[in-house]
Structure formats: structure tokens, C-alpha cells
Amino acid sequence: MRARLFRRCLSFLVLCAVLFGWTAAHTDVLAVEAADTEDLEQQKKDTEDKIDSIKSSIDTVESKIQDLESSKSDLQTYITQLDGQVNSLSVQIQNLEGQIEDKEEEIQVKTAELEEAEAEAADQYEMMKLRIRYTYEQGNESFLVLLLESKSLADMINRAEYAMQMTEYDRQMMEKLKETQAQIEAQKEELEQEKAEQEEMLDEVEEQKSAVNSAINAKSQEIASYQSQIQSASGEQSEYEKQLAEQEKLLEQIENQIAAAAAAAASADDGDGGASGFLWPCPASHRITSSFGPRTAPVAGASTYHKGIDIGASSGSAIVASAGGRVTTATYSSSAGNYVVVSHGNGISTVYMHASALYVSAGDVVSQGDTIAAVGSTGYSTGPHLHFGVIVNGSYVNPLNYVQ
């Protein structure tokens, strides 16, 4: 009797020791898991800070590029205006050169006319000198010949009058020739003055054209400088975007680890799940109105291959997380309506569609059984229900393999 009692006491003590050891070990595991989760959360925060910093740098570079592009565009517009001025000045130069050529031709004509008038005046002057010389040399003899050869007094008067008329004619011709010569000289001087003025204008316009071309060259160099800065900034932006992609990939890995840890913790703490540890997502109803797989589209726009199961329930009924994890999506689309995606790690995610309300946001960590949304009929829907789907490594699978 005493031996039997001793054996029972010994067994009880061994059992207590085992239970105590398991409890201590389990506590240690939970403590390690908590420490790991805290470390992951810190890594996540650090990564998110880096992502925010990189995005800020990208925004700064983009703003810089926009400013440079704006300045470059302004310069290009200014150069276009300068090109217009150059074209206008070129037309003025061409017109002035044509006018100068015309003036040169007119001056040549006037020069020829002046030379002709001068020659005619010289000839007339020589003739007049000859007549004056003849009259002077003949003197009284000419007058005597005039008296003796005249047939009558009238003839003598006519001859004397003729001589006077010749003298007057010579005088008038000389005056007329001098006047013509003066007019031609004045016209020639006027043409030469106009030509000089046009040549001066031509010099001014050519200087303006040269100045505008210099401005164009300077602005073109500025544009080249802006373009170089834009290329440099674009290179910085590409490098920042590469860093951003790396950090976002790292963040995704960390979030998957956190989701896996949350799912593992939820499975260890809650034994109410199905064979795979996933809970039924709609506690208020277990009525499946549309199964996984091929089907006839219930409404225009709906899929003919159902990638989940539809659970009919009253609007507003609770939708719970089938397993613990991290919310990766909580938004609205025209087809899915209000929907939530929860990542559970190991490439597994669950999807909850057509909700009337969402109670979580992207980035939230949820535990198994947490209410994340309410049943509704948003998106392509014929009535209040929950579309529940399971994604494994990017492909939809039959949710009934995970929930009962």
C-alpha cells in the first residue's frame, strides 16, 4: 500500500516537473518570439524612415528638375524671340544693301550727267572765248566792215543786233549750263548723303544683329548648362529610385516576417481554427452561395471563374481575420468594392471583398479573429455577402482547403 502510494506520488512529481519544464520552455519561446518581433518592428520602422528619406530626396530632385526644365524652356522661348529679331534684322540689312546699291547706281548716273554737263559747259565756254577774242582782235575794223558791207541802215542794225544776240546767247548758255551743273552737283551730293546715311544704318543694324547672335550663343550655352544639370539630376533620381526599390523590397520581406510571426502567435494562442489553423471568416453565417471554380457570371462584369467562395450574410455582419498577419491592402475598387488583403507569411494571403465598411488600414497587424470589416454589397454584387479568397504564392486556391 505504501509502495503504491509512493509510486503515485513519484509519478505526480514527475508530471509536475514535465509540465513546469514545458511551461518554462514555452514561456522562453514566447519571450524570444516577442523579442524577435520587436526587432523586426524596429527594422521595419528604420526601413520606413529610410524610404521616407529617399522619397523626400526624390521629391527634391524632381522639383529641381522641374525648375531646371522651366528655366530651360524660358531660355528656349527667349532664343526663339531672338531668332525672330535676327531674321527681322537680316531683312533690314538686305533691304539697306539693296537701297545702297540703288543709290550707287543713281550716283553713277548723276556723275555721268555732271561730266556731260561739265563737258558741254567747257565747249560752250571755249566757243564764247573764241567769239570774244575775235571781236576784241577785230575791234574798229569789224565795226568798219559792218558799216561798209551793210547794204542799208536796216541791214547794219540787223547785223549789229545779231552780234549782240550772239553775245547774249553765249551769256545765257553759260548761265544755264552753270545752273544745270549746280543742280546735278546738288543731286549728286544729296545721293551721296543718302548713301552715307544708309551705310550708317547698315552698320548699326549689323551691330544689332551681331549683338543678338552673341546673346543667342550665350543663351544656348546656358541651355547646355541646364541640360547638363538636368541629366545629372536625372541620374541622382534614378539612383534614389533604385535605392527606394531596394528598401521597399526589404520592407516587404520584413512585413512578411512580421506577418508570419503574428500568424504563428495567433495559431499558438487560439485552437479554434480549422485543420490548417485558419478560422471561418464570417461567424454570423456558414451559408456558401457560390463555390470556388467555374461558374456563370452572376452580374455583368463578374468573373466566370470564381476565385473564392461567397458567404451569404446580413449586411453589417462581422468579417474577421481568418489568421493573424499584416494588412497589405484596405481600399476600394469598382469590381471588388471595399476589400481587405491580409498577408500571413510563407506566401499565404487571404482576401475579403464587397464589404460595407473597413475597420483596418494597410500596415495594420491583426490577430486571428479580429474584426476587420463588415459584410456588404459593394462592387459587382447581387446582394450582401462576403467573397473570401485564399492566395498561395500568387495564385488563388480553394479556400475550403483552409477553412471548414
Q: Mind giving me the DSSP string for 127-154?
A: HHHHHHHHHHHHHHHHHHHHHHH-SSHH
Sequence-ordered list of residues with C-beta below 8 angstroms from that of 287, at least 6 positions apart, any chain: 311, 312, 313
pLDDT higher at 187 or 27: 187
Taking 80 as the threshold, does the pLDDT of residue 31 lie above it? Answer: no
Taking 70 as the threshold, does the pLDDT of residue 282 lie above it? Answer: yes
- At 342 the pLDDT is 93
Contact criterion met (CB below 8 Å) for 386 and 337: no
pLDDT higher at 68 or 177: 68
196: which 3 cell numbers?
A: 552715307
Query: Which residues face 293 on adjacent strands?
Result: 306
Q: Which of 37-51, 246-260, 315-329 has the lowest mean pLDDT?
A: 246-260
306: which 3 cell numbers?
A: 470564381
Q: CA 344 → CA 70, 113, 120, 322, distances in Å? A: 48, 110, 120, 10
The predicted-structure confidence for 301-349, as pLDDT tens digits, reads as follows: 455 678 899 999 999 999 999 999 999 889 998 888 899 999 988 889 9
Tell me the pLDDT band of 208, cut-offs 50, 70 and 90: confident
Domain ranges of the chain: 30-269, 288-401
Tell me the pLDDT band of 186, cut-offs 50, 70 and 90: confident
- At 275 the pLDDT is 39
Query: Which residues face 344 on adjacent strands?
Result: none
Tell me the pLDDT band of 373, cut-offs 50, 70 and 90: very high
pLDDT higher at 302 or 128: 128
Tell me the pLDDT band of 5, cut-offs 50, 70 and 90: very low
Q: What is the mean pLDDT of residues 370-391?
A: 93
- At 17 the pLDDT is 46
- At 287 the pLDDT is 93
pLDDT higher at 60 or 113: 60
* Beta strand pairing call for 365-366 and 305-306: unpaired
Can you tell me the distance from the alpha carbon of 386 to that of 354, in angstroms, rounded to the nearest whole number? 6
217: which 3 cell numbers?
A: 550663343
332: which 3 cell numbers?
A: 476600394
280: which 3 cell numbers?
A: 471561418
Can you tell me the distance from the alpha carbon of 163 to that of 161, in angstroms, rounded to the nearest whole number? 5
Domain 30-269 grouped into CATH 1.10.287: yes
Contact criterion met (CB below 8 Å) for 328 and 255: yes
* Beta strand pairing call for 357-358 and 395-397: unpaired
Please return the burial class of 306, using the count of CB atoms within 10 Å of its CB with bins 0-12, 13-18 and 19+. buried
- Of how many residues is the chain composed? 404
- At 178 the pLDDT is 76
Contact criterion met (CB below 8 Å) for 329 and 296: no
Q: What is the mean pLDDT of residues 174-182?
A: 76
- At 346 the pLDDT is 84
The predicted-structure confidence for 131-144, as pLDDT tens digits, reads as follows: 666 655 554 445 45
The H or E element that residue 332 is part of is: strand 325-333
* 345: nearest Cα among 236, 277, 255: 255
Contact criterion met (CB below 8 Å) for 338 and 376: yes
CA quadruple 245, 249, 254, 255: dihedral sign: positive
- At 302 the pLDDT is 52
The predicted-structure confidence for 64-94, as pLDDT tens digits, reads as follows: 899 988 988 898 888 888 888 888 888 888 8
pTM above 0.85, yes or no: no
Tell me the pLDDT band of 122, cut-offs 50, 70 and 90: confident
Taking 60 as the threshold, does the pLDDT of residue 226 lie above it? Answer: yes
* Max CA pair span of the chain: 211
- At 219 the pLDDT is 84
Q: What are phi and psi of 343, to 5 degrees?
A: -95, 130
Q: CA 6 → CA 10, 11, 19, distances in Å? A: 6, 9, 20
Q: What is the mean pLDDT of the chain?
A: 77
Query: Which residues face 371 on adjacent strands?
Result: 320
Taking 50 as the threshold, does the pLDDT of residue 23 lie above it? Answer: no
Sequence-ordered list of residues with C-beta below 8 angstroms from that of 281, at least 6 positions apart, any chain: 311, 319, 320, 321, 322, 350, 352, 386, 388, 403
Order of strands, edge to edge, in the sheet holding 357-358? 318-320, 371-374, 357-358
The predicted-structure confidence for 159-169, as pLDDT tens digits, reads as follows: 556 556 666 76
Can you tell me the distance from the alpha carbon of 374 to that of 358, in angstroms, rounded to the nearest whole number? 7
Query: Looking at domain 288-401, which CATH architecture does it have?
Result: Distorted Sandwich (2.70)
Taking 50 as the threshold, does the pLDDT of residue 272 lie above it? Answer: no
CB atoms within 10 A of CB 299: 10
Sequence-ordered list of residues with C-beta below 8 angstroms from that of 37, at least 6 positions apart, any chain: 258, 261, 262, 265
- At 355 the pLDDT is 96
- At 137 the pLDDT is 52
- At 10 the pLDDT is 46
* Beta strand pairing call for 309-312 and 305-306: unpaired
Q: Establish whether domains 30-269 and 288-401 are of one fold.
A: no
The label of the residue with cell 530632385 reads 61
Percent of the chain's residues with pLDDT above 70: 71
Query: Which residues face 341 on adjacent strands?
Result: 329, 351
Contact criterion met (CB below 8 Å) for 68 and 233: yes
Q: Name the amino acid, one letter, at 402.
A: Y
pLDDT higher at 272 or 113: 113
- At 261 the pLDDT is 61
